[in-house]
Amino acid sequence: MDYIDRMIAVRIDADDTQEELGRILDISRAQWTKYETRTHEMSIQTFVKFCQHYGVSADYILGLGRDMDWPRG
C-alpha cells in the first residue's frame, strides 16, 4: 500500500466523497481525482491540509514505521 492508497482509505473511512474533500481542501473534485489516479502530484500544502483535516500523521500516510530511529545521528 502506498501513500495514495492510504489517503483514499482515510477519505473513504470518513465517508467523504472526492467532491466533499475538494471543498474542504479548496480544490476541485477533478483535481483530487487526478491525485487519486496518480496523474498529478499534489503540493505539500495540500498534503498537510489533508493530514490536518483527518487528524492523521504524515508518517502514517507515507508509511514510515514507528520503529524507525529518529533522529539519525
Amino acid 64: pLDDT = 86
Which grid coordinates belong to 59? 508518517
**Quick count: other Cβ atoms within 10 Å of Cβ 18?**
18
Whether residue 50 contacts residue 36, with contact meaning beta carbons closer than 8 Å, is answered with no
Q: How confident is the model at residue 70 (pLDDT cuts 50, 70, 90)?
A: low
Per-residue model confidence as pLDDT tens digits over 10-69: 999 999 999 999 999 999 999 999 999 999 999 999 999 999 999 999 999 999 876 666
CB environment 19-58: b (16+ within 10 A), e (fewer): eebbeebebeeeebeebbeeeeebeeebbebbbeebeeee
Amino acid 1: pLDDT = 87
